[in-house]
């Protein structure tokens, strides 16, 4: 059971790393454009500490990645607008 939790935590961590890499790349592209830019992120979110969710004994918080991405966006005059999709039903 513990190995399954570690595998799920690893998958979630890789998904978050890809998410932050995409945001960094997008910020880099938008940096070259003049003025203020806005990006709307439609998501149901993710656990900032997936290891704890799956009771992995070696948790690693991902707040550093989140803060780094937010700083990059801010310095490029990019506003990140998260929009929660939890509770929305597809029609």
pLDDT single digits (tens) 31-71:
999 999 999 988 887 776 776 766 655 555 667 788 888 99
Taking alpha carbons only, the member of 65, 38, 37 closest to residue 49 is 65
Query: What is the β-pairing status of strands 78-84 and 37-43?
Result: parallel
CA 30 to chain centre: 18
Is the distance from CB of 7 to CB of 51 less than 8 angstroms?
Answer: no
pLDDT > 70 in the chain, percent: 77
Q: What is the reported pTM?
A: 0.72
Q: How far is CA 75 from CA 18, 35, 62, 79, in A?
A: 21, 12, 21, 10
């Amino acid at each position: 059971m513990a190995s399954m939790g570690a595998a799920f935590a690893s998958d979630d961590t890789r998904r978050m790393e890809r998410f932050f890499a995409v945001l960094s790349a997008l910020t880099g592209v938008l940096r070259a454009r003049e003025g203020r830019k806005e990006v709307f992120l439609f998501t149901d979110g993710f656990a900032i500490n997936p290891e704890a969710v799956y009771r992995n004994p070696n948790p690693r918080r991902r707040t550093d990645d989140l803060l780094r991405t937010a700083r990059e966006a801010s310095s490029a005059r990019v506003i990140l607008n998260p929009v929660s999709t939890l509770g929305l039903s597809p029609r």
